[in-house]
Structure 1
Amino acid sequence: MHGTLGTPEARRQPPRRSPLPLTLRLALRELRGGLSGFVVFLFCIALGVAAIAGVASVSRSLTDGLGREGRRILGGDLSYSLINRQATEAERAALAAEGPVSVVASLRAMAVAGDGAAALVELKAVDGTYPAAGPLVTDPAAPLPDLLARRDATFGAVADPALLARLGLKAGDRVSLAGTPVEIRATLVSEPDRIANGIGFGPRLLVSQEALDATGLVRPGSLNRWSYRLQKPGATDAELAESAARIAKAVPEAGWEMRARSDADPRFAKSIERFTQFLTLVGLTALIVGGVGVANAVHAFVERKRGSIATYKSVGAPGSAVVNLYLTQVMLIAGIGTGIGLAVGAAIPFAIDALFAAQLPLPLEPRLAAGELALAAAYGLLTALAFAVTPLGRAHDIPVSGLFRDRVEPAGRGVRWRYRIVLVLALAALAGLAVATAFDRRVALIFIAAAGLAFGALRLVGLGLMALAKRLPHPKRAAPRMALANLHRPGALTPSVVLSLGLGVTLLVALSLIDANVRRALTGTLPASAPNLFFLDIPASEAEGFHAFLGGQAPTGRIERVPMMRGRIVALNGTPAERIRPPEDAAWVLDGDRGITYAADMPEGSTLVEGRWWGADERESLVSFDAELAAKLELKIGDAVTVNVLGRPITARIANLRKVEWRSLGINFVMVFSPATFRGAPHSDLATLTLPGGTDPAAEAAILRATAKTYPSVTGVRVREALEAVSDLVGRLVTAIRGASAVAVLASLLVLAGAVAAGHRARLYDAVVLKVLGADRRRLLSAYALEYLALGLVTAAFGLLAGGLAGWVIVTRVMRLPFTLDLSGALLAAGLAVLLAVAAGLAGTWRILGQKPAPYLRQF
């Protein structure tokens, strides 16, 4: 032979050593046989990771989109908003000194068609520079100044298609605003700054500021918002901050709300963060539920590897080496599942952008969010480690002979402390990640506590059911006796089925109750407790006449009328509002403007909690504050509250604290001032009309038509329509929550299927032995059906109790709504759980029942 391969020197050369550690080499070698038995494992990990990664990626894409499109959303680089008044000459000069300024006014008004039909509209009046940032799309397409221009003494308008549908109009028709006709010349397809306007209770109507002036809707005390948008497209964020500082120094008492393009809509960004946290916790729930499937799969894996484990230990491998080997193999498989989940989650924002970009009201900038994907991967791997370490650790101290006997006589020795410590550390890391990355850490802590209680309770339910089944007297009939024995025998599926199915039923019941109570709060109590109509912008000079007019329209109705202004809290006890860090659920009070009023008597729906109400001759500036919000803001009797109203800072002392019943939807305010505080200040009135007998659409429509004709400048709002707008938004959120929760429910189903699959070998053994002893298929089928029926009933009962408790806590403590135990959806979920348990159990055993005993007897 030529060469060196066959020489003695070559044969004496030591074999090439792999750079990989021995444990990893053995794990990879065993994985060559495929992933049989780990399908549920992979799906559970991939599903949970995909949910978390997808939610986080979409959230980051939205946040980045808001940041990138901040100038378009805001309509400029800096925006200064004023309520109830326009900027003074000094304020306009301070803004103009920094660059070009565009002006937008927004208010609510009534649009009246030629036949007298009226509809509430979100009126937006723009100047000739609009839109200064981003495109405005109309149908037909035309320059906006041409569409809004005055022709033949009539101004033009661009309308939301919903307004045309509501009033039965088309392009070219006219509507009147406070008696002033405007011609609808195009429909609105999209506007660049729509997000900044918040929730609208009516369709958009776009007009020029000249048209708004002609209507006379803007007058002292009327409710309107003026936005002054400073255009500095080439400026850096630092230069914008310098401009903002100069403006603040030039007009320190302006009292306007300022926003920059880098933070165009902070309230919306906070909403995204809150909703993202909730959906992430739901995804984490799915991952933790899937952890049960991981534990089942690993337990079955250890059973399959009994011979290999015995071989390793018989040749001297220590128990720790065996555990490390198979833990490495399991974590490699977990890595595959995590990788699949990351790929799916990372693709979700790109898929949404490709499929729904035209329908999205928000700017989406899909990208690979490395930090969010790394967090999802950490969740997946830690979950796999936490749920795999104890089933693997069980084999550490079992002798070789015990491994062979373990099928019929399981070892009673527990898991070593080292593996329990790893479990505790992995769970602590999961909890730490959830808390550290949470927008609201209190919510994250509540979730962790609830998850721990749910797991502990379900574990106790499973063990309790096994103990009860063991102590019950044995039935005389074979099928019930066999079913009872299956519930508590060694290797019983009871703990796994109860845990997996119980979590899914609990989640479904809780969601059902939350959905039902939220919708009932929005609509169910409306006829009995809420007004039918709200009327805004009633001129103070016409308030008495309008009151008499309403009385004539609805002689049996109840009318409430109060003065109405808008103001913004600028300081508490002398501390500027921007320096105060209130709790999340109270931050809205300091964020933007609030409705305020003054009254000699305490409003209906209020209960005095502390302090005293002022007398009719009170001359001091006093304020009554909502007691719950005062506690969260750490306010007490005697503290000072400074509000900016019509550009003037006004300080009042807290005289009393009230408990307010907001659910009545009557007229009430966080702050009610003494009459002396705003004596002589221009304002409009707010009125409500409550008709006897609840909602009456025909009567409401007739009153609105008469109001639009007699008092065209007064805006009427149907409470039902306003609640329907909110209900539509809530419905979309609930749909998103249901979609995310479906992931957790799907994980529960996977775990249930995995639990049945994990018990396949034991069930096969039982079936073979019983068939040899004379049991037929009918008897075995009856026994298994009774077993799974018992498991389903116990799980459904737990889900009803735990889900009902969770729903009650969320509705009453978090949402602060009245709770009604509506069991229709909850019982449906529980019934489906029972059917699912029976169906899954029988599906898993059906093939077993048809097997011939002889081939399997040779294997045992």
Structure 2
Amino acid sequence: MIPSATNIRNALRLARREIRGGFGGFYIFLACIALGTGAIAAVNSVSRAVTSAIADEGQSILAGDVRFELRNREASAEERAYIDSLGDVAVSDGLRSMARLEDGSQQSLAEVKAVDGAYPLYGDFVAEPAQPLPALLAKQGESFGAVAAPMLLERLGIKVGDELLLGNARLKLTGTIVTEPDTLSDGFGFAPRLLISRDALIASGLIQTGSLVEHAYKVRLTDPSQRATIIETTNKQFPNAGWSIRTSDRAAPQLTENVNRFSQFLTLVGLTALIVGGVGVANAVRAFLDSKRTTIASLKCLGAPASVVTMTYLFQIGFIACVGILIGLLFGAIAPLIAMRFLDGVLPVPKELAFYPSALWLAAVFGMLTTLAFAIVPLGQAREVPATALFREQGFDEGKLPSWPYLAATAILLAALASLAIFTADDRFIASVFLGAIAFAFVVLRLVAWGIRALARRSPRVHSAALRLAIGNIHRPGALTPSVVLSLGLGL
């Protein structure tokens, strides 16, 4: 039966008057909703800030508009002519090798990167001392210039100006690397970077049959509109080239995927916090409505329909939930600003403060669905409080479930919450397994709570009055044993 407009107005008026009394009894409720909502909002906002920065700074991260990568072979004459026709090209070669001192006293694995004079096409390479890269890598007498990560200098116990050997080539350290623009797109490194010229790499003799070398051709497109179709066009023209092609809008796909995976994991952690908080919500709503049983009975004695009573407290709970959600969203909105201070220099971050409404909306929907899913059953039980409760002490009957519409509404809300978690996840299988595990944990913990109460009920009588009361409160009607076990178990 749909409530009339009059009943809705009366319920809103009564709810407004109830709220004037403050949030007494609802502080745990507020904390649960604010914490869970804030966690989801913050995680998704930071994730989107990082992924958007990766997309926006794609040219600098890739050091080009397009990157062609070949393993263990250089581009053929025909392939190189095609690459050159696209625009300006910078060539680099990467491999791992041992850098060593001339006397052989120290050696260390290094991620060797050999570049030509066009590197980098985008972004800035910064070294200490601050000199142009071609000058730092220029040949000086019998030695080739080289710049290295500070960690390599520490491992070898050398300083700028000292010499080391790489294969057959003699290198002189002319500086240390401060910023390498395309380090993220080069992938995970197992050792410190050693940057040299391509002439130095040829002189080293390290490129031989069987050498594991990555040859990268980075292009600044003459026509930027080609980027959208460059992969399809190139693969159609060279179907057997075997190269990996990456464009600046997907400059660091592995990093983006890792950020998204990490975001999904933390979103599920936030959802867990919300579900654990949902148990707190149910307890808070139940305790609050239990304290209002005489008010509910009085309203019924005065002729208020049960629907008005239910809507009154539903509106009140909804309003308080909105306050908790707003607190969480405020934290989620400023989280990127806080996180950027710590992530700057480690991951790409936005240059300006930005808000991510979709992340905040998602967190708000999670928060409201959780509130309603866990509040409906206590509201349904409150609806059944009889008018006679005004004349005698009577709380909610723990074993009595509300009528089927409330159970159906709870089931629908829980299904909506699960569906939202699954369909907004990058990996729906992981999200489904996670939610299945949560449901299984609920069942197991309910059985554990039942076992604890059964043991308490059958425990031998003790002489201590305090201990006897404590054991009795574990299994008495209306005891919070199931809720406490659920909260502690899910939290653990």
Question: TM-score with structure 2 length normalisation?
Answer: 0.94
Residue 62 of structure 1 and its aligned partner are, at CA, apart by 1.3
C-alpha spacing 1:410/1:180, structure 2 compared with 1 (3 Å):
same
Q: What is the rounded CA distance, in whole Å, between the counterparts of 2:76 and 2:206 in structure 1?
A: 19
Q: What is the rounded CA distance, in whole Å, between the counterparts of 1:247 and 1:472 in structure 2?
A: 78
Residue 53 of structure 1 and its aligned partner are, at CA, apart by 0.8
Q: 2:239 aligns with which of 232, 252, 255?
A: 252
Q: What is the rounded CA distance, in whole Å, between the counterparts of 1:249 and 1:35 in structure 2?
A: 66
| Per-residue Cα deviation, 1:159-210 (whole angstroms, up to 9, x for no partner) | 1000011111111111100132101111111111011122111100111111
Q: 1:140 aligns with which of 99, 105, 129?
A: 129
Larger radius of gyration: 1
1:132-211 to structure 2, matched below 5 A, reads 132-211=121-200
Corresponding residue for 1:389?
376
Residue 254 of structure 1 and its aligned partner are, at CA, apart by 1.3
Does structure 1 residue 457 correspond to structure 2 residue 411? no
Amino acid at match of 1:180: A
C-alpha spacing 1:358/1:431, structure 2 compared with 1 (3 Å):
closer
Residue 377 of structure 1 and its aligned partner are, at CA, apart by 0.6
Corresponding residue for 1:483?
470
C-alpha spacing 1:393/1:402, structure 2 compared with 1 (3 Å):
same
Q: 1:88 aligns with which of 30, 53, 76?
A: 76
Q: What is the rounded CA distance, in whole Å, between the counterparts of 1:282 and 1:477 in structure 2?
A: 42
Residue 234 of structure 1 and its aligned partner are, at CA, apart by 5.8
- Partner-residue secondary structure (3-state), 1:97: helix
Corresponding residue for 2:275?
288
Does structure 1 residue 470 correspond to structure 2 residue 457? yes
Corresponding residue for 2:10?
22
Q: What is the rounded CA distance, in whole Å, between the counterparts of 1:233 and 1:301 in structure 2?
A: 68
- Partner-residue secondary structure (3-state), 1:492: coil
Amino acid at match of 1:132: L
Does structure 1 residue 361 correspond to structure 2 residue 335? no
Range with bigger deviation, 399-408 or 190-199? 399-408
Amino acid at match of 1:463: W
Contact kept, 8 Å, 1:113 with 1:175, in 2: the verdict is yes
C-alpha spacing 1:412/1:130, structure 2 compared with 1 (3 Å):
closer
Residue 43 of structure 1 and its aligned partner are, at CA, apart by 0.8
Contact kept, 8 Å, 1:326 with 1:392, in 2: the verdict is yes
Amino acid at match of 2:348: L
Residue 478 of structure 1 and its aligned partner are, at CA, apart by 2.5
Corresponding residue for 1:131?
120
1:506-521 to structure 2, matched below 5 A, reads none
C-alpha spacing 1:408/1:393, structure 2 compared with 1 (3 Å):
closer
- Partner-residue secondary structure (3-state), 2:221: coil
Contact kept, 8 Å, 1:94 with 1:251, in 2: the verdict is no
Q: What is the rounded CA distance, in whole Å, between the counterparts of 2:177 and 2:129 in structure 1?
A: 9
Q: 1:52 aligns with which of 24, 40, 52?
A: 40
Residue 241 of structure 1 and its aligned partner are, at CA, apart by 3.4
Residue 245 of structure 1 and its aligned partner are, at CA, apart by 4.4
Corresponding residue for 2:265?
278
- Return the structure number with greater relative CO, CA threshold 8 A, min gap 6: 2
Contact kept, 8 Å, 2:168 with 2:203, in 1: the verdict is no
1:555-594 to structure 2, matched below 5 A, reads none
Q: What is the rounded CA distance, in whole Å, between the counterparts of 2:338 and 2:391 in structure 1?
A: 51
| Per-residue Cα deviation, 1:644-686 (whole angstroms, up to 9, x for no partner) | xxxxxxxxxxxxxxxxxxxxxxxxxxxxxxxxxxxxxxxxxxx
Q: What is the rounded CA distance, in whole Å, between the counterparts of 1:381 and 1:352 in structure 2?
A: 26
| Per-residue Cα deviation, 1:469-519 (whole angstroms, up to 9, x for no partner) | 2233322443332222111123323122211112222xxxxxxxxxxxxxx
| Per-residue Cα deviation, 1:789-837 (whole angstroms, up to 9, x for no partner) | xxxxxxxxxxxxxxxxxxxxxxxxxxxxxxxxxxxxxxxxxxxxxxxxx
Amino acid at match of 1:59: S
Q: What is the rounded CA distance, in whole Å, between the counterparts of 2:110 and 2:186 in structure 1?
A: 13
Contact kept, 8 Å, 1:148 with 1:155, in 2: the verdict is yes
Q: What is the rounded CA distance, in whole Å, between the counterparts of 1:242 and 1:28 in structure 2?
A: 59
Q: What is the rounded CA distance, in whole Å, between the counterparts of 1:63 and 1:361 in structure 2?
A: 10
- Partner-residue secondary structure (3-state), 2:245: strand
1:190-589 to structure 2, matched below 5 A, reads 190-232=179-221, 235-236=224-225, 239-353=226-340, 355-364=341-350, 367-402=354-389, 405-407=392-394, 410=397, 413-505=400-492
Residue 248 of structure 1 and its aligned partner are, at CA, apart by 3.3
Residue 323 of structure 1 and its aligned partner are, at CA, apart by 1.0
C-alpha spacing 1:425/1:243, structure 2 compared with 1 (3 Å):
closer
- Partner-residue secondary structure (3-state), 2:124: coil
| Per-residue Cα deviation, 1:532-582 (whole angstroms, up to 9, x for no partner) | xxxxxxxxxxxxxxxxxxxxxxxxxxxxxxxxxxxxxxxxxxxxxxxxxxx
Task: Give unpaired runs (5+ residues) of structure 2.
Answer: none
Corresponding residue for 1:100?
88
Does structure 1 residue 67 correspond to structure 2 residue 55? yes
C-alpha spacing 1:426/1:290, structure 2 compared with 1 (3 Å):
same
- Partner-residue secondary structure (3-state), 1:259: strand
Q: What is the rounded CA distance, in whole Å, between the counterparts of 1:409 and 1:202 in structure 2?
A: 65
Q: What is the rounded CA distance, in whole Å, between the counterparts of 2:452 and 2:231 in structure 1?
A: 67
Residue 246 of structure 1 and its aligned partner are, at CA, apart by 4.3
Residue 33 of structure 1 and its aligned partner are, at CA, apart by 1.6
Range with bigger deviation, 26-35 or 277-286? 26-35
Residue 309 of structure 1 and its aligned partner are, at CA, apart by 1.2
Q: 1:34 aligns with which of 22, 32, 40?
A: 22
Contact kept, 8 Å, 1:104 with 1:125, in 2: the verdict is yes
C-alpha spacing 1:477/1:218, structure 2 compared with 1 (3 Å):
same
- Partner-residue secondary structure (3-state), 1:81: strand
Residue 372 of structure 1 and its aligned partner are, at CA, apart by 1.6
Q: What is the rounded CA distance, in whole Å, between the counterparts of 2:354 and 2:285 in structure 1?
A: 35
C-alpha spacing 1:55/1:379, structure 2 compared with 1 (3 Å):
same
C-alpha spacing 1:403/1:55, structure 2 compared with 1 (3 Å):
farther
C-alpha spacing 1:162/1:278, structure 2 compared with 1 (3 Å):
same
Q: CA RMSD in A?
A: 2.0
Q: 1:111 aligns with which of 99, 108, 120?
A: 99
Residue 319 of structure 1 and its aligned partner are, at CA, apart by 1.5
| Per-residue Cα deviation, 1:297-331 (whole angstroms, up to 9, x for no partner) | 11111122223212211111122211111011001
- Partner-residue secondary structure (3-state), 1:170: coil
Amino acid at match of 1:46: A
C-alpha spacing 1:334/1:409, structure 2 compared with 1 (3 Å):
closer
The number of residues matched between the two structures is 485
C-alpha spacing 1:244/1:458, structure 2 compared with 1 (3 Å):
closer
Q: What is the rounded CA distance, in whole Å, between the counterparts of 1:362 and 1:409 in structure 2?
A: 55
Contact kept, 8 Å, 2:149 with 2:177, in 1: the verdict is yes
Contact kept, 8 Å, 2:93 with 2:114, in 1: the verdict is yes
Amino acid at match of 1:29: R
C-alpha spacing 1:502/1:368, structure 2 compared with 1 (3 Å):
same
Task: Give unpaired runs (5+ residues) of structure 1.
Answer: 1-16, 506-860
Contact kept, 8 Å, 1:83 with 1:226, in 2: the verdict is yes
Residue 407 of structure 1 and its aligned partner are, at CA, apart by 4.6
Identity within the alignment, %? 48
C-alpha spacing 1:198/1:131, structure 2 compared with 1 (3 Å):
same
Q: What is the rounded CA distance, in whole Å, between the counterparts of 1:363 and 1:475 in structure 2?
A: 63
Q: What is the rounded CA distance, in whole Å, between the counterparts of 1:464 and 1:494 in structure 2?
A: 10
